[in-house]
A and B are shown apart, each in its own frame.
Chain A
Amino acid sequence: MKKKISRYRTLIIFGIVFTILLSGIFYWVYRGILKNAGLLEGKEETVIFDKHYVMIVDGSYADYWNDVYTVASEAAAENNAYIELKMRDMDSDYTMSDLMNKSIYSKVDGIILQYTGESGLDTKIDEAAKEGIPVVTLLNDAPETGRISYVGINAYSLGQIYSDFFAGIFTGDDRSDNIVFFITDSDPSRNQQQIFNQARAGILSRVPAGGHISISSVEVPADQLFSASEVIRSNFKYSEKCPDYVVCFDTATTDIVYQALLDYNLLGDVKVLGYYTSDTIVKGIEDENVIATLMLDTHDMGRYAVEALVDYGTDGYNNAYYTIPSKLVKKGDTGIAQE
């Protein structure tokens, strides 16, 4: 009798455990389904940040800025802030000023702006400052605006880097080389122009006696759709006028140049100095058609920009000028391969 009662009891307990277990498995399957559908993650992992910063950059530097954005986001998250990336598309009607406007109207807590020298951008920086939104300029400075800080390269030292590089190449007395700098910078402050000037002066001063070196610059219209490519390609149409060396100041220009050389069968005849890195640049470095590429420190760029905003937000003052290190990287050097 007791045995029978205990059997029934076992059966009931087993039934309950069985049902619970089954429900558990079912719930687990269900949660898995919801997770797959993306209906759980958002709700569970919502983090509220104190500050909302915006990083406004030009799309022609996309790879570089994406890397900077990654570092900046991490730095911002450490300071309980979120950075929204607003990248100007080449095919979009929005100008950098529009992106500034949107950020101002969205009442963000800070703007990190790649200063392109676009007309009206200075006014927008001032408007933001007036609205109490601090603006940090990147890569190019706008010292006459209400920006709180500038994070970028030093034109003089970068010019020095280029002149040092070419001095290393031009060792023969009878050299006759043609160097062209593609300048995408339309900014009145002419940051790239300054770099060009510094490099030109440096190279010419170090050319051995008897050498004939021609150094020129070509302005590439960065804010007009497809025109950059046309301007660049026109430089390689006639092989007798082709430069021996081409220096690029952004990744997109480097890619266009490389493709043009490939199309005109000039790879090997024209040496390219690239800007930052892309799949094309990495390939070019490997086959030595891109003899070197300029690497700007994305880490410092991102961190300094956030640091400037955070310092300004907490202390009310900050460094007005951050210089980021840069160097020309050749085949065999570390740090060229894209992650």
Chain B
Amino acid sequence: MRKSDGSIKKKLTFIMLYMIVLIFFSNIIMFGLVNNLTRQLDSVYSSNVDLNELQEQLNALQKNLYNYLKVRDYDSLQEYYRIQQDLNARLFEMNGDVTGNKSDILEKNIKNMTYRFIKKADDSIAAKRGMQIEDYKTNYEEAMEIYGYINSDIATLNETLLKNNAASYRSLQSALGILEIAVIGVLAIIMIFGLYVMTKMTNDIVAPLTLLSKKAELVGEGDFNQKVEIESGDDEIGIVTGAFNGMVDSLNEYMLRVKESADKELIMENHLKEARLRFLQAQINPHFLFNSLNAGVQLAEMENDEKTSVFLNRMADFFRYNVKKTTEDATLEEEVKLVDDYIYIQNVRFAGDIVFIKDIDESVLGYRIPSMILEPLVENSLQHGIRDDLSSGHIKLEIRDKKTYIYISVSDNGKGIDEETKKKILGSGKIEHDDDSTGIGMDNVFSRLDFYFGDNASYNIKSGSEGKGTEIILKIPKKE
């Protein structure tokens, strides 16, 4: 995962190298110049030194010449030749050109005069060896005359050079002082420039980090809409920036998913509720429908009159409601009408023997309850309460406005139910249904009420004992 190209390490190395190279080369140049100047300083008086050495050689040559001529001393002669050899070598190196420089001309003159001196000295030695006394004296005198001229010119040249060299030395000395200041100045300029460059470059590295830390703080405070736009390339900062942006993106995505998941869960729960409702509604026995219809047909066949048509009409209404309202809730009024239709149909069926009493507060008829609630209760009273004794039995539907809730009571004076059955019904235990009923049992009614109203609805079954009838009481909230 580590990237070396454009990394902070590389950038920092670059900065360091940049500074080092800059200072190194500047130092090399300055050191070279100062060194050169120092060497110049050292060599200023070298010409004087050379000239003094020449003078010494000349003196030695003259001394040995004199010694030889005086005492014919062969050691002196040997020494003479040795010095002459050295002197010739030195003369060879001396200037022989005619330049416009007075010192050069003097040097050239000294060189030529020294050659002449050596020649005369040699002639003198040769004459001495040849025992030509007059000749060696003449030559020696001439040599000494030249020797005098050479010494004079050497002194003049020495003086001239000394003057020039002293001036040069002074200039160089003061130049060294200037150079020293210049070196400090140049180094200071380089340092300032270097600092500027370093600050610039370091800022390039640090600025994105500062920005990143500020953004991270904001993210920490819960603001996930933070993106860092930094052109830092593929270095560590670039990687961290990318990772930061990725992290923020992931956080955003995660938050969205959590939210969506919560919404879905809610919807799912609702769906589940609805499904369970539909499932319960779907438990209504279709046989009832067929039996009723058969009854209608029979009636039509027997009497072929208006009553049949009314019956069929009510039957149709009942059937329509049954089909239509299985998927949704209904108003109390609609429910009451369904009960009416049911009683009518049952009255037709049982030759009008069913006594059905309604005591209803009209004001609550507009409130909504789950469909198919009242009819199963009335049906239950009919089927299990008074069916066996229709002549004396009655069914009573009571709906009261209790301000905070609606009080619904379905009661009969039939045979009632035993405690065990009552418990079963209230405990949502399954109850066997007759094929003759609409198929919706008490447990179904209560379950749907629970689903629809949650804990806000309550219900109860009151039953005395055998022959004392049953009363089912519902207390439901007002829902519009």
Question: Residue B193 at the A interface, CB < 8 A?
Answer: yes
Chain A interface size range = 35 or more
Chain B: residues with Cβ within 8 Å of the partner, total of 50
Question: Residue B121 at the A interface, CB < 8 A?
Answer: no
Question: Residue A169 at the B interface, CB < 8 A?
Answer: no
Question: Residue B100 at the A interface, CB < 8 A?
Answer: yes
CB distance from A279 to the nearest CB of B (A): 26
Query: Contacts of B231 on A, CB cut-off 8 Å?
Result: 1, 3-4
Q: Are A106 and B190 in contact (CB under 8 A)?
A: no
Q: How far is the CA of A99 from the CA of B55 in the complex (A)?
A: 21
Pick from B40, B112, B204: contact of A4, CB below 8 A: B204
Question: Residue A15 at the B interface, CB < 8 A?
Answer: yes
Q: Are A105 and B113 in contact (CB under 8 A)?
A: yes
Question: Residue B447 at the A interface, CB < 8 A?
Answer: no
CB distance from A105 to the nearest CB of B (A): 4
Pick from A26, A46, A82, A106: contact of B186, CB below 8 A: A26
Q: Are A84 and B105 in contact (CB under 8 A)?
A: yes
Q: Are A102 and B113 in contact (CB under 8 A)?
A: yes
Q: How far is the CA of A163 from the CA of B383 in the complex (A)?
A: 188
Q: How far is the CA of A101 from the CA of B201 in the complex (A)?
A: 78
- Count A-B pairs with CB separation below 8 Å: 114
Q: Are B182 and A26 in contact (CB under 8 A)?
A: yes
Q: Are B99 and A49 in contact (CB under 8 A)?
A: yes
- Mark out the residues of chain B between 59 and 114 whose CB falls within 8 Å of any chain A CB in the assembled complex: 97-102, 104-105, 108-109, 112-113
Question: Residue B30 at the A interface, CB < 8 A?
Answer: yes
Q: Are B99 and A22 in contact (CB under 8 A)?
A: no
Q: Type the 1/0 row for B98-137, where 1 means its CB is closer than 8 Å to any CB of A.
A: 1111101100110011001100000000000000000000
Question: Residue B473 at the A interface, CB < 8 A?
Answer: no
Q: Type the 1/0 row for B130-158, where 1 means its CB is closer than 8 Å to any CB of A.
A: 00000000000000011001001100000
Question: Residue A320 at the B interface, CB < 8 A?
Answer: no
**Chain A interface: which of B164-172, B257-265, B314-322, B450-458?**
B164-172
Question: Residue A33 at the B interface, CB < 8 A?
Answer: yes
Question: Residue B197 at the A interface, CB < 8 A?
Answer: yes
Question: Residue B200 at the A interface, CB < 8 A?
Answer: yes
Q: Are A22 and B190 in contact (CB under 8 A)?
A: yes
Question: Residue A11 at the B interface, CB < 8 A?
Answer: yes
Q: Are B98 and A50 in contact (CB under 8 A)?
A: yes
Interface centre among A4, A39, A42 (most CB of B within 10 A): A39
Q: Are A101 and B149 in contact (CB under 8 A)?
A: yes
A29 and B197 in contact, given A1-B231, A46-B99 (Cβ under 8 angstroms): no
Residues of A that sit less than 8 Å from B by CB: 1, 3-4, 8, 11-12, 15, 18-19, 22-23, 26-27, 29-30, 33-34, 36-39, 42, 45-52, 81-82, 84, 94, 98, 101-102, 105-107
A selection of 5 A-B contacts at a CB cut-off of 8 Å is A22-B190, A29-B179, A34-B37, A47-B100, A105-B113
